[in-house]
Amino acid sequence: MDPTDTATLRARLVDVLECYHPDRTACPHDGFQAAVHPETGDRYDDRHHLVASARFLANTSLGVQIDGPDWCAAAAEQAAAFLRSAHHDAASGGYDWLVDDETRDDRRVCYGHAFVLLGYARAVEAGFDFEAELRAVANLLVEQFFESEYDLCASEFDADFETGSAYRGQNANMHACEAFLAAHRATRDRDHLDRAIAIARALTVERATDDHSIDDLADVPLIWEHYDADWTPDFEYNRSDPRDQFRPWGYQPGHHLEWAKLLGQIDRRLEHVAPDHEAREWLCDRGIALFDAAVEMGWDETLGGLAYTVAPDGEPVVEDTYGWAIAEGIGAAATLFERRDDVRFRETYQGLWEFARTHLDAPQGDFYQAVTPTNEAVIDSDGPAVEPGYHPIGACLAGLAAFGEDPRGE
């Protein structure tokens, strides 16, 4: 595989889309199911997670934009209809976190709402008439979650938005930044871009911490995952649960890579719409610093692979390599190469694709969820699944933007 060849990247993107073809994933009540076994293709869970439902809309909309499989247009319409009918609560305006045939989890979680905004933004870019839905969820994120004194979003509320959790998390804000950036691409509404920049600055610059003892990164502020209500780092949160699905303890090299990609993408957006914006003075430099920090603290020079989490003293906590983290590394390397034309990012991009091809490519077309430190596949079929190929699709998209032409027209 030549990951700089646009035809190859497009074909790989379509392979991941086909892994979640409606014939395999459609459910009787009109949703799609991300819980597809990576080796057999069997479906193993019928619960619907908000993140997965929104990612189906994002993925299939992108399939339309790249003139991908014919089924993507109808699937995108169906995914949007399912968000409205199964997840959306008209009374509060919020979206339920988890839905199945008998029960539902009606918490209002920022992380999930960020993906709803991203899904509608991708759909609008693809030509679907979902501008009203995009505006509604963007307004909801601002009115209910965004805390202007911090330029960051709260994490979670009850069904009526009456009672909120004291927990604050960087992960939800990273995806809110991603979603507002996508909303700007779709609408050209400058408020969305300004909010994406504000979130990025607040987390990657203002609240990054040097409260670690990783020798080779002594001068590099890193991004902690967990905070209390006034955005003070909480270094004990989930320390006893380092494999929590959404909130593991420790620094996450994969999230540093994801931020590196996002900062480069914001810089690219500003180059098109506001080339003299002051944020361009720091976006790519900070992205490169985060990229290098992720490699330094997480990469296994002997076996390859990227530790999932790392303690403040630099010791790995969870050593498994997650497919999403490698995909974000690919996306970051591609984006930074496109921004700075530095050959080391191109070489890293090619090396990460080689690792993915060798160790992460699963028989059905998606990446394995993870591999062990000795590169044996980890297959978690407990559900509920949230990853219908969103991250490897993003890796392909970043490669297309860097080595060919962004199929979305940027």
Query: Which residues belong to the active site?
Result: 255, 391
Closest by alpha carbon to 99, among 386, 390, 329, 310?
A: 386
Q: Which two tokens stand for residue 262?
A: 């996002």
Distance of alpha carbon 121 from alpha carbon 161, whole angstroms: 24
Q: Which two tokens stand for residue 132?
A: 């009203």
Q: How many Cβ atoms are within 10 Å of 382's Cβ, its own excluded?
A: 9
Q: Which strand (E) or helix (H) includes residue 53?
A: helix 50-65
Torsion, CA 91, CA 93, CA 98, CA 101, rounded to 10 = 40
Distance of alpha carbon 263 from alpha carbon 285, whole angstroms: 9
**DSSP alpha helix (H) spans, 245-322:** 253-273, 283-298
Following DSSP, what letter does each residue of 224-263 receive, concatenated? -SEE-TTS-B-TTTTTT-TT-SS--SSB-HHHHHHHHHHH
> Which DSSP letter does residue 320 get?
P
